[in-house]
Each structure stands twice: as structure tokens, then as C-alpha cells.
């Protein structure tokens, strides 16, 4: 199949055509030609329109597709469709399944069931067996099978000795340990950010301290062991400060932020709409300001969707009793582009494409002639509404239903696979 992109503005800081408006021809999964104008031959699929942009295919550092074990909430097929609609050509698949991704058989299950998919599924293996935080898994075996990182996802590794051993063990094969910084003894079944809003609403708060104590521990352990740490979904101003200081000291640490923690604040929970119940919780305006600054100066490496589907039985409840979680693969990039004036489009695209792949050691091609086509085409400035009919996920737990966006993903190309 041949695809011709007409008059697209390239957003790729590695490409000599960065920020230039050109035509791009893709043939048999490769970028064949990039010129100011390319004539459309018979049989070409021509992609054209107003305000079109072309970037590398996006990569999501945090998705839960609930398969196997909870496939009434989401499955591999619907998760891939939703991700592709959001511009993603690759995702890091969290191990919060049943059974857990705590052995090479489960890693192989995910890879074998998604061969030749439009979106590359990159498995993350569990740090501990059955995701229980007690005993290390065979991470090397999982790495050899295709796992690119190791995490217990929302069940943060609470035991300091386990975390230390994990960081030491993965040094042998340059593995990445990912941990959600949350001291469960401090967050202690809280429902939202601890502060004025939680007190006003009468909801139990989750102190910023729960995140910051755990992050401080993990930084110290990483510095001591010489391991490689990625902090999942940092959400507080102090966390950003700690990561910035650690990087300056030479600690091998990276981090990401969930897109909704850059857009929404704890005051949005005042309606008691459980779609605003996420973890880490929505924080304050000052936290959001610090997160944006961290993205802009490179302290925060990546943006993730934190796609976490929940069915009505677990979400359409009172705020107290509803599960944490939000679907986000289709709205992550349009939301991030709302920050263009504050952060810059280049920073946004890098945080959602090049940077995540680099952190995981995944090859990332630039938009140049002869390179494998891994592309996201999107328009800017043309409004559209994200309604329920647009949702590809099985679940509908999003506070953004009905929202008008001005950035829309037109389609993706991933080698010989394409949504066009």
C-alpha cells in the first residue's frame, strides 16, 4: 500500500525536515520520498486537509487493557483500537492482569496474541510474584522473552529490601524498574488529594507525603545500588524537585506524568463525579504549575495516558466506593496539545513518542527517506467533540465525554500496518 501525505508540517526534532511543510510518500512500510511536492500516482491513498501535521507514532508508557482476567472492562482488541485512534503505535502494557504477568509464559501470551497489530504491545513484567510484593520474579527470563520494564503497577513495592534487590538484580541486563511512588501506610485508603477541597467535601485525603516519602526512598535506593529507576505518574511539586535534584547528582532516574494530572485539579472533584477519581489523585494548581515546568525543562521525561478502564459496576458509584481510573488513550494527545502555548508542541510530541521509547531501549526511527514508517498524522485547529460514539474502549469512564478538542488524530502508520 502506498500512502501520500500532502502538505503536512513535520514535527520531528531528529529530522532535517523538522517544522517544514512537505509531501511524504510511504510505500510498503518505508518512507520513500520527502519533497516539497509529490505527484499522486494511481493507486495512492492520498491524505490531505487543513492544518495537517506528521510526527513519529506516539508511545504510551502506561496502559491497562485488562486482558487476561478482566476482559469485560477491556481486551487486547479494543485497547489496540482505542490506542490507534489516539495516535499511538506502541504502548507499555502494565502487568495488572489475572494471572499477573510474572513469568515468561504470560509475556509470550501478550506478544503472540498481538503479532502484526497496528499498535506494538510492549509487555511490562511484574517485579514480584503474583503482584504481592513478597518475592522477586524471574525478571531476566521475562526480559529475554520481550519484557522491557518491571513494575507492580498500582501496588507499589512497599518493602524496601525487595525494592533494593530488584534494582540490583536488573543491573545485570540493564533492566528498568518502574515504581508508583506511594507509601500505602500514609495514603491509607484515601479517596482524593488531601487539602482544602477534601476537607470541604468530607472525603478522606491522600497526602502528597505518601508519594514523596516513597519517591525519596526509591531515589536513595537507586543511588545506592546504581540501578535504573522510572517513577510512574509523579503528581506533586516536591516530587518534581526531588527528581530534578537526583538527576543533577547523576542518579539514573526518569519519570512520567499522567496527562489528566496536567489538566485537572482536585477542585474538579467537587461535583462528586467518580470519573475524576484517579490515582495518583488530582492535585492543586501549584502542583500542576510545577509539573508543567518539569516537562518543559526535561525533569519529567514522558507523558502517559494512564488508561485504566472500569465498567459501570465499579465506577458508577458514590465517589467513596468507586474504583480509581480513567480511560485515556484517545484523549491523551488532544489534551496534551492544549498545553502547546505553555510547553511547546515539540516537547509534547517528544514526551509522547521519542522519550518513552528511549527510556525503554526501543528503537525509534525518525521521519527521513529510507526509514521504516512509524507515523502519526493529526490536524490542529479543527474542532471536534469526544462523545460516547467515538469511544473505542469497552469502558466509558472519562470526565472528557462531551468535550470539544481542537487537535484530532487522523490516522497512524506502523510499518506495513496502517489505519488509513
State the pLDDT at residue 270: 97
Sheet holding 302-304: strands in order across? Answer: 58-63, 88-93, 120-125, 149-150, 177-179, 229-231, 253-258, 302-304
Looking at the structure, tell me whether residues 271 and 384 fall in a common domain: no
Residue tagged active-site, from 306, 311, 320, 387: 306
10-residue stretch averages of pLDDT, the chain, 420 residues long = 96 96 97 96 94 98 96 97 98 95 97 96 98 97 98 96 98 96 97 98 98 98 98 98 98 98 98 98 98 98 98 96 98 98 97 98 94 97 95 97 98 96
288-316 b/e (C-beta count within 10 Å ≥ 16 → b): bebbbbbbeeebbbbbbbbbbbbbeebbe
* Predicted TM-score (pTM) above 0.95: yes
Looking at the structure, tell me whether residues 178 and 204 fall in a common domain: yes
Looking at the structure, tell me whether residues 178 and 123 fall in a common domain: yes
State the pLDDT at residue 243: 98
Looking at the structure, tell me whether residues 311 and 406 fall in a common domain: no
Looking at the structure, tell me whether residues 25 and 107 fall in a common domain: no
Q: How many domains does the chain have?
A: 2
Looking at the structure, tell me whether residues 33 and 147 fall in a common domain: no
Nearest-angstrom CA–CA distance, 73 and 78: 10
Looking at the structure, tell me whether residues 198 and 210 fall in a common domain: yes
CATH of the domain at 333: 3.20.20.140
Residue 98, CA distances (Å) to 67, 105, 180, 253, 394 in order: 8, 13, 20, 29, 18
DSSP at 130: G
Q: Look up residue 352 and give its three cell numbers.
A: 509522547
Looking at the structure, tell me whether residues 256 and 173 fall in a common domain: yes
CATH of the domain at 397: 2.30.40.10
State the pLDDT at residue 1: 85
Segments of 117-252 assigned E as strands:
120-125, 149-150, 177-179, 192-193, 205-206, 229-231
306 given a catalytic annotation? yes
Nearest-angstrom CA–CA distance, 357 and 226: 21
Last residue of a domain, one of 342, 360, 378: 360
Nearest-angstrom CA–CA distance, 132 and 160: 14
Helix (H, G, I), strand (E, B) or coil at 330: coil
Find out whether 212 and 186 touch, Cβ atoms under 8 Å: no
The Cα diameter of the chain in Å comes to 65
Last residue of a domain, one of 337, 360, 383: 360
Last residue of a domain, one of 334, 360, 386: 360
Looking at the structure, tell me whether residues 25 and 97 fall in a common domain: no
Looking at the structure, tell me whether residues 43 and 134 fall in a common domain: no
Looking at the structure, tell me whether residues 47 and 78 fall in a common domain: no
Q: Look up residue 18 and give its three cell numbers.
A: 523538522
Helix (H, G, I), strand (E, B) or coil at 346: helix
Q: What are phi and psi of 303, to 5 degrees?
A: -110, 135
State the pLDDT at residue 298: 97
Domain span at residue 43 reads 2-54+368-418
Looking at the structure, tell me whether residues 127 and 22 fall in a common domain: no
Amino acid at each position: 500500500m502506498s500512502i501520500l501525505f500532502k502538505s503536512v508540517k513535520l514535527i520531528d526534532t531528529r529530522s532535517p525536515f523538522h517544522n517544514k511543510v512537505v509531501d511524504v510518500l510511504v510505500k510498503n512500510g518505508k518512507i520513500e520520498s520527502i519533497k516539497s511536492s509529490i505527484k499522486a500516482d494511481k493507486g495512492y491513498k492520498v491524505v490531505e486537509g487543513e492544518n495537517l501535521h506528521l510526527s513519529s507514532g506516539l508511545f504510551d508508557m502506561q496502559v491497562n487493557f485488562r486482558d487476561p482476567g478482566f476482559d469485560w472492562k477491556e481486551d487486547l482488541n479494543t485497547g489496540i483500537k482505542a490506542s490507534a485512534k489516539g495516535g499511538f503505535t506502541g504502548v507499555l502494557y502494565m502487568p495488572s492482569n489475572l494471572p499477573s504477568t510474572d513469568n515468561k509464559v504470560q509475556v509470550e501470551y501478550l506478544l503472540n496474541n498481538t503479532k502484526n497489530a497496528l499498535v506494538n504491545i510492549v509487555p511490562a513484567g511484574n517485579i514480584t510474584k503474583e503482584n504481592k510484593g513478597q518475592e522477586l520474579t524471574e525478571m531476566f527470563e521475562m526480559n529475554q522473552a520481550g519484557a522491557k520494564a518491571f513494575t507492580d503497577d498500582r501496588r507499589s513495592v512497599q518493602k524496601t529490601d525487595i525494592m533494593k534487590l530488584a534494582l540490583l538484580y536488573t543491573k545485570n541486563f540493564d533492566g528498568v524498574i518502574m515504581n508508583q511512588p506511594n507509601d500505602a501506610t500514609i495514603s491509607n485508603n484515601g479517596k482524593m488529594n488531601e487539602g482544602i477541597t477534601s476537607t470541604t467535601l468530607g472525603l478522606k485525603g491522600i497526602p502528597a507525603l505518601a508519594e514523596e516519602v516513597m519517591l525519596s526512598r526509591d531515589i536513595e535506593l537507586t543511588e545506592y545500588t546504581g540501578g535504573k529507576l522510572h517513577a510512574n505518574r509523579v503528581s506533586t511539586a516536591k516530587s518534581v524537585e526531588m527528581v530534578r535534584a537526583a538527576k543533577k547528582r547523576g542518579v539514573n532516574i526518569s519519570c512520567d506524568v499522567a496527562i489528566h494530572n496536567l489538566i485537572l485539579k482536585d477542585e474538579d472533584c467537587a461535583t462528586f463525579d467518580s470519573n475524576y477519581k484517579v490515582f495518583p489523585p488530582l492535585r492543586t494548581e501549584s502542583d500542576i504549575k510545577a509539573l508543567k515546568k518539569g516537562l518543559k525543562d526535561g525533569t519529567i521525561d514522558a507523558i502517559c495516558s494512564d488508561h485504566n478502564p472500569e465498567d459501570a459496576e465499579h465506577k458508577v458509584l458514590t465517589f467513596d466506593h468507586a474504583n480509581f481510573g480513567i480511560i485515556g488513550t484517545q484523549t491523551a494527545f488532544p489534551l496534551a496539545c492544549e498545553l502547546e502555548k505553555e510547553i511547546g508542541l515539540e516537547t509534547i510530541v517528544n514526551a509522547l513518542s521519542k522519550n518513552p521509547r528511549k527510556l525503554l531501549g526501543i528503537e525509534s526511527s525518525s521521519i527521513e527517506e529510507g526509514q521504516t514508517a512509524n507515523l502519526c498524522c493529526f490536524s490542529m485547529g479543527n474542532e471536534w467533540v469526544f462523545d460516547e460514539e467515538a469511544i473505542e474502549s469497552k469502558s466509558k469512564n472519562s470526565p472528557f465525554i462531551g468535550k470539544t478538542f481542537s487537535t484530532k488524530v487522523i490516522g497512524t502508520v506502523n510499518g506495513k500496518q496502517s489505519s488509513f
